[in-house]
Amino acid sequence: MTFARIAIIGLGLQGGSIGLAVREYLPEARTTGYDLSPQHRALAAARGLVDTVCETAADAVREADLVIFCVPPGAMGMAAEQVREALPAGALVSDVGSSKEAIAKALGEALPDHTVIPAHPVAGTENSGPDAGFAHLFRNRWCIVTPPAKVDMVMLSQLVGFWEALGANVEIMTPGHHDLVLAVTSHLPHLIAYTIVGTASDLEDVTQGEVIKYSAGGFRDFTRIAASDPTMWRDVFLSNKEAVLTMLQRFTEDLTALQRAIRVGDGDKLFDQFARTRAIRRSIIEEGQDDARADFGRGDHEGVSAGKL
């Protein structure tokens, strides 16, 4: 059995993609949606991201059996509070946030009488807002579901079935382990991209024009990642602070080791490291869910994935 009435709170890239995917893959289900921004509500209605765009969050959830919060991590608690009075007693609460422990806590505190099973589709792009969504975003991508220790198994399997219906491969993890894994595979790479693009734009001896003109492969890929939504990523780092700082510490140590190898002319050290990472890249592509994953900088929807290292 799947969900009949799905409410989506936040109609940006994720919420819009879920709405479109439900229409394509679960055509029996009815969708309602709400976005805090009146402009986003209008755009969502114009694109038909959900069957009904509501004027309040409460109206959107009134008849829902599943509500999915698709707002920035820092807005999850407030968005959940807005539906507390209207949410039917048996409705399942979930989300798509990029960090899990802090969001699970915020949703649980805002909706203490409901079952909350957080999830994270590891699928996205650098684009945001109601124009960014597309129905195939989740196809052949991972969705990590992070149930609490004591969970309603029927609801868990319903949620797993929902994501599988949208084309995702589901993995179950604890929220804490999710946050550690994603800190290194997604959050740290974004921090590095934000840093290097900022550094390049701040140089005194190299002009902005030169940076743009000569932005060959490597730098260009970083600029795509560094174009990701500032609100969302501010919230990701603040909500996954401990795991990101742990990974950043390790990264800094490894970077310092390479810095030393360059300074002392230790070519073997550099070569060994680069050979090791090249093998990792190749094994990712070989067992990749989609060959398009290899194309890191591609801007079209089919080729963009989040699971890349």
Ligand X SMILES: NC(=O)C1=CN([C@@H]2O[C@H](COP(=O)(O)OP(=O)(O)OC[C@H]3O[C@@H](n4cnc5c(N)ncnc54)[C@H](O)[C@@H]3O)[C@@H](O)[C@H]2O)C=CC1
Q: Which helix (H) or strand (E) holds 175?
A: helix 175-182
Query: For ligand ENO, which residue of 24, 51, 81, 126 counts as binding (CB under 6 A)?
Result: 126
* Residue 94 binds ligand ENO, judged by CB under 6 A: no
Nearest distance from C-beta of residue 107 to ligand X, angstroms: 11
Nearest to 160 by CA among 94, 219, 112: 94
Nearest distance from C-beta of residue 189 to ligand X, angstroms: 12
Provide DSSP, 191-207. HHHHHHHHHHHT-SSS-
Helix (H, G, I), strand (E, B) or coil at 31: strand
- Are the beta carbons of 303 and 295 closer than 8 angstroms? yes
Q: Of 83 and 247, which CB lies nearer to ligand X in the complex structure?
A: 83
d(CA 119, CA 245): 23
Q: Which stretch binds ligand X (CB under 6 A): 9-17, 143-151, 251-259, 289-297?
A: 9-17
For the sheet containing 52-53, what is the strand order? Answer: 52-53, 30-34, 5-9, 66-69, 92-95, 115-116
Q: Of 142 and 162, which CB lies nearer to ligand ENO in the complex structure?
A: 142
Q: Which stretch binds ligand ENO (CB under 6 A): 41-49, 55-63, 121-129, 248-256?
A: 121-129
Q: From ligand ENO, ligand X, none, which one binds at residue 49 (CB under 5 to 8 Å depending on kind)? A: none
> Which residues in 68-107 contact ligand X (CB under 6 A)?
70-73, 75, 78-79, 96-98
* Residue 183 binds ligand X, judged by CB under 6 A: no
Provide DSSP, 236-298. HHHHTHHHHHHHHHHHHHHHHHHHHHHHHT-HHHHHHHHHHHHHHHHHHHHT-S-GGGG-TT-
Query: For ligand ENO, which residue of 94, 98, 128, 240 counts as binding (CB under 6 A)?
Result: 98
Q: Of 185 and 273, which CB lies nearer to ligand ENO in the complex structure?
A: 185
- Are the beta carbons of 166 and 27 closer than 8 angstroms? no
Nearest distance from C-beta of residue 108 to ligand X, angstroms: 16
Q: From ligand ENO, ligand X, none, which one binds at residue 186 (CB under 5 to 8 Å depending on kind)? A: ligand ENO
d(CA 230, CA 271): 36
Residue 307, judged by CB atoms within 10 A of its CB (0-12, 13-18, 19+), counts as middle
Q: Which stretch binds ligand ENO (CB under 6 A): 36-44, 122-130, 156-164, 246-254?
A: 122-130
Residues at the site binding ligand ENO, with contacts judged by CB under 6 A: 98, 122, 124-126, 186, 225, 304, 306
Residues at the site binding ligand X, with contacts judged by CB under 6 A: 9-15, 34-37, 40, 70-73, 75, 78-79, 96-98, 120-121, 124-125, 128-129, 132, 229, 232, 236, 306
